A and B are shown apart, each in its own frame.
Chain A
Amino acid sequence: MNECDILVVGGGPAGISAIRSAKLGADVVLIDDGLKLGGQLIKQTHKFFGSAEQFAGMRGVDIANKLVSELYESGTKVLPGATVLGIYEDGVVNYSKDNVVREIKPKRTIVATGAKEKNLLFENNDLPGVYGAGAVQTLVNVYGIKVGNEVLMIGAGNIGLIVTYQLMQAGIHVQAIIEATDHVGGYDVHARKVKRLGIPIIFKHSIKRVDGYNSVEEAIVVKLDDRFNPIPGTEKKFRVDTVCIAVGLSPLAELLWQAGCEMKYIPELGGYVPVRDEDMRTSREDIFVAGDVAGIEEATSAMLEGTIAGTEAARSLGYPVEDDELEKAKSYLNQLRAGPTGKKIRIGLEKLLGKRHSFETNATIHKPSKSTMPKNKRVPVVECFQEIPCNPCEASCPFDAITIGKDINARPSVDYSKCTGCGICALKCPGLAIFMITEDYSDSESLLEIPYEMLPIPRPGDIADGIDRDGNFVCEVKVLGVIKGKDKTNLVRIIIPKEYADRVRSVRVKEYKNDKIVCRCEDVTEKEIVEAIRRGYTSFDELKRLLRVGMGPCGGKNCREEVLKIIARETGKSVEELEVGTYRPPTKPTPFSAFKNE
């Protein structure tokens, strides 16, 4: 039987971070049952909050790529596409891969299996068209599949808000967000992003029923009283084809139950969670936990818990820990949980760890003072009104003009005397809450620059609709230009009558010309090809070398003919007269392992 020092179950942010144990010298195996390593991060197209020293300001999918390359660099043996079936009394773990079940005996196991989505009971909830938010993200963000045309989102927590925004980015219309409580559960900046898109959040309502012949055609929503009971006669009908459920997560802890770890029911942490100490060790001394399985939180804290669990698991096997990574992780974790938005977690941890946690916030509230804001130069307006653990604006400012301070939950304040108006903060802010304004652009107009992540991207000269914070039309605006951010957050620069400068916070483009993709593997557009042909590159092989067209995994199956047609059209020749270019083996991407099996 195979043996190893440490087995990590789960290749999400917590599991991959636990491979720090491998960096300390331990012999580590990581098993993941996803289609791709990276856990839920692979479907997160939004930028993360938290400390810029961690991954704040990066998109989840980019964090996943970074973590996965670190995983491979670490020397960890990775078993992707494998499922752990059980943890046994003798510490043996069995898993299935490629339809073969094998056993492995680790000295320590770190369970980082994440979470599952909570269910919601309503009539006909098995009708096709009812999805969990995670499934919707997988289909839309990982596979680019349009789940429907008209969506009703249930739940105004961070997931409901984020997925709503992502659906709108994907061109799928969300009619409304239904929330049972009287407030937004997620971050205020996320709520503001969807409100600007004109999507109402309907509080104190829940879904009662969906109807349809083969799949969802309509959803019935009902008002709730103060005890969350439906009030008869308040039903509202939505004509939608998709209902997306985002009512929270609970730990995916079957393995821990099987292994006999002590479990405790703590609603603030999402349900049953393993009893564990501050080193992330469960009641079984050979089993550690990290991430959502240890209590529902978010990806940054999962990574930090993974680092802690990995370090402690390695230490418990005698591997020396000499650096200060562990202390750093613990300190970041405390910071993340210290603010008002971490209150629920703090209560949950207090119940779990049986003692008061010293997570008192020291946040000084900096109020951006409008009076000091200069009118004749380009400056940021920071619309960040909630204390959340986040500091990329401060970290990104090259001139130290933005201050958050030691407690990353504090709100930013801007020192306009230091600010040069560079706009980097507006491109960086994960909440899209920073707008650049030049109030006195002319006698009667202001220049407003809006962070924008939707398609189509406005073009210079466009006349677009100026939209207010709640998604309502204010006035027509003129698009001066677009600053394209490296990570797909753009700044749309609009000219606007002065009196509306404080009201307009978004734009809506009226018409748009789409890019035509010729080479789908390498994302080469018709426009790029035409431009190259006009510069004199008139054969397929030349365009291939210049633009990578046809160099991707399909080997040009999908684009070669299209490219030849474009060359023919541009050069006035017939396709038969052209050089078709070389065809090279293999016809299909084939792994090295297959060539070894002679």
Chain B
Amino acid sequence: MKADVVVIGGGIIGTSIAYHLSKFGVDVALFERSYISSGSTGRCAGGIRQQWSSPMNVRLAMESVRMFEKFKEEVGYDIEYYSGGYLLLAYTDEEVDRFKKQVKMQREQGLDVYLLSPSEVKKQFSSLNIDRLKLSAYCPTDGHANPHLANFAYVEAAKKEGARIYDHTEVTGIVMNGDRITGVITDKMGKVETKIVVNAAGAKSRDIAKMVGKDLPVEPYRHQILVTEWLPHVLDPLIVDFYHNIYFRQTMHGSFIMGQSDPDEKPGVNLNARWQFLHEISHKITFLMPMMENVSVVRQWAGIYVMSPDAQPIIDELEGVSRMICATGYSGHGFMLAPITGKLVAEWVIYGNPRSMDISNLSLKRFEGGKRIEMERNVV
């Protein structure tokens, strides 16, 4: 078997890349070791946010939002996209300062984002408790969508464009001739000849890079998440509260999805749910939204943030290997950046560089030689 490009990973990043490549007419084969959306995508909360602390992330997300807005007509599937905004809550003076600076920077990037006082928050989102709230930042064009449906949509659309998608098929090795890739080895289909590999393997992307003797500076971290029973629609924006360490949103289905970070979490692929999480988040959610008191938790699980050193994605071609392009290290916001990633990586494969945007500061070089890195701070 042969393919012009082999994409490794059937999550949202890999399938978006496969879709965009196939739309350019490239012959692409995608390999997923389990089923589509079995990794981080299938565990993700589905937020789509442009309010980042790094200008690069803001620009990337803004491009992505434009693509989400047109997803239904362009890709052809309804993914429950809802432009309900993101509301970021500040509880400390430090946060207030940071929000003010960030909003200024984000507005300079062209983003429609503004600050809301606690009373304005109450007026606009009356189900929220504003006790002790100092300030908030609101971007109405942020939103959310259903990650599973988006993942499947890319698969179906890519197949229509002629892409071959193989699930339950693992890439176990990469065949090299000198520094040139000549193919990949799969467990079910043997060798697949190709000259170009796209590494979109998420938590496993480091292992894939190791197959060509390279290392990627990414580490997987476990994050806890849960979903509630169905409720009537009561909340538009996705809420992020760094101080209490919680984010939550109401899905189009009506259930609430919420999660938090665990500062003591050790790196590693661990997908077990923690019981402590239920207690911790119950206090937070009922403080922020008192009406949740008697709402029931239906399911909890864990997912993976693949963290890069600066919590910004890595989109780059490996040096000294011909050719492996990596799209990884999304640090918990891969879903929202998937549409633009697909487009940029497809351009990279075809033209040798991404044409739509300058993403040179997402290269691996930024971590070399003890350079100062700009940390993305708005991760929850």
Task: List chain A positions with a Cβ less than 8 A from chain B.
Answer: 65-66, 68-69, 72-75, 78, 535-537, 539, 541-542, 545-546, 548, 551-553, 555, 579, 582, 584-586, 589-596, 598
B286 touches A596 (CB 8 A): yes
Number of interface residues of B (CB under 8 A): 41
Whether B296 is near chain A, meaning CB under 8 Å from some CB there, is yes
In chain A, what residue has the closest Cβ to B152?
Answer: A546
CB B162 to nearest CB in A, in angstroms, measures 16
Do the beta carbons of A589 and B296 come within 8 Å of each other?
yes
**Per-residue interface assignment for chain B, residues 283 to 312, with 1 indicating a CB less than 8 Å from any chain A CB and 0 otherwise:** 101100001111111111100000000000
CB <8 Å contact, B286 and A593: yes
| 0/1 interface trace, chain B 259-303, chain A, CB 8 Å (1 if under) | 000000000000001010011011101100001111111111100
B38 within 8 A of A: yes
State whether the Cβ of B116 lies closer than 8 Å to any Cβ in chain A: no
User: By the criterion CB–CB under 8 Å, are B126 and A69 in contact?
Assistant: no
Q: How far is the CB of B233 from chain A (nearest CB, A)?
A: 6
Contact call A69/B234, Cβ cutoff below 8 A: yes
CA distance A537 to B229 in the complex (A): 25
Which residues on A sit within 8 Å (CB–CB) of B233? Answer: 69
CA A221 to CA B296, docked complex, whole Å: 50
The contact string, 1 if C-beta is below 8 Å from chain A, for chain B 301-330, is 100000000000000000000000000000
On whether the beta carbons of A546 and B292 are closer than 8 Å, the reply is no
Task: Indicate if the CB atoms of B295 and A592 lie closer than 8 Å.
Answer: yes
Q: Please indicate the chain B residues that have their CB under 8 angstroms from the CB of A72 in the complex.
A: 127, 232, 234, 291
A74-B37 in contact (CB<8A) = no
> Does A548 lie within 8 Å of B232, measured CB to CB?
no
Residue of B nearest to A75 (CB): B126
A536 and B148 CA atoms in complex are apart in Å by: 15
Q: Which residue of A lies closest to B279 (CB)?
A: A595
* Contact between chains at B301 and A591 (CB < 8 Å): no
Please give the residue numbers on chain B whose beta carbons come within 8 Å of chain A beta carbons, in ascending order: 35-38, 42, 122, 126-127, 148-149, 151-152, 156, 167, 227, 229, 231-234, 253, 273, 275, 278-279, 281-283, 285-286, 291-301
Q: Cα distance A300–B178 when bound, in Å?
A: 79
Q: Is the CB of A591 within 8 A of B148?
A: no
CB pair B126–A591 under 8 Å, yes or no, is no
**Contact: B36 with A542, CB < 8 Å?**
yes
Check A555–B298 contact: CB distance below 8 A. yes
User: Which of B298, B300, B301 has the most chain A CB within a 10 Å cutoff?
Assistant: B298
Q: Chain A residues near B122: list those with CB within 8 A.
A: 75
- B82 CB → nearest A CB, Å: 16
B149 surroundings in chain A (CB, below 8 A): 546
When the two chains form their complex, are residues A545 and B152 in contact, meaning their CB atoms are under 8 A apart? yes
* A287 CB, min distance to chain B CBs, angstroms: 27
A591 contacts across to B, CB distance below 8 A = 293-297
Contacts of A590 in B (CB 8 A): 296-297
B286 with A592: CB separation less than 8 A: yes
Q: List A contacts of B229 (CB < 8 A).
A: 553, 589
Q: Chain A contacts of B156 at CB under 8 A?
A: 535
- The residue in chain A whose Cβ has the minimal distance to the Cβ of B273 is A585
Closest residue of chain B to A542 (Cβ to Cβ) is: B35
CB distance from A322 to the nearest CB of B (A): 15
Contact check, A68 vs B273: say whether CB atoms are below 8 A apart: no
Q: Is the CB of A68 within 8 A of B232?
A: yes
Q: A69–B250 Cα gap in the complex (Å)? A: 13
Query: Would B37 and A545 count as touching, CB distance under 8 A?
Result: yes
Contact residues in A for B275 (Cβ distance below 8 Å): 585
Q: Chain B residues near A542: list those with CB within 8 A.
A: 35-38
The contact sample of 8 A-B pairs, CB cut-off 8 A, is A65-B232, A541-B38, A579-B35, A584-B301, A585-B275, A586-B300, A592-B295, A593-B282
New A-B contacts (17) at CB < 8 Å, excluding given A69-B231, A584-B299, A595-B297: A66-B232, A78-B291, A542-B35, A545-B42, A548-B253, A551-B299, A553-B298, A584-B301, A585-B300, A590-B297, A591-B294, A592-B281, A592-B282, A592-B285, A593-B282, A593-B286, A593-B294
Contact B300 A584, beta carbon cutoff 8 Å: yes
Residue of B nearest to A596 (CB): B282
Contacts of A539 in B (CB 8 A): 35
The residue of chain A having its C-beta at the shortest distance from the C-beta of B285 within the complex is A592
Q: Contacts of A594 on B, CB cut-off 8 Å? A: 282
Q: Known: A552-B298, A592-B295, A596-B283. Is A69-B278 also a contact (CB below 8 A)? A: no
B296 pairs with A553, CB closer than 8 A: yes
Assess whether B148 is in contact with A545, with CB atoms less than 8 Å apart: yes
The contact of A595 among B167, B282, B299, by CB within 8 Å, is: B282
Question: Complex formed: what's the CA distance from A545 to B298 in Å?
Answer: 15
Q: How far is the CB of A380 from chain B (nearest CB, A)?
A: 31
- Closest CB of chain B to A419's CB: distance in Å? 31
- A-B pairs with the 5 shortest C-beta distances? A589-B296, A545-B148, A595-B282, A69-B232, A592-B282
- Which residues on A sit within 8 Å (CB–CB) of B234? 69, 72-73
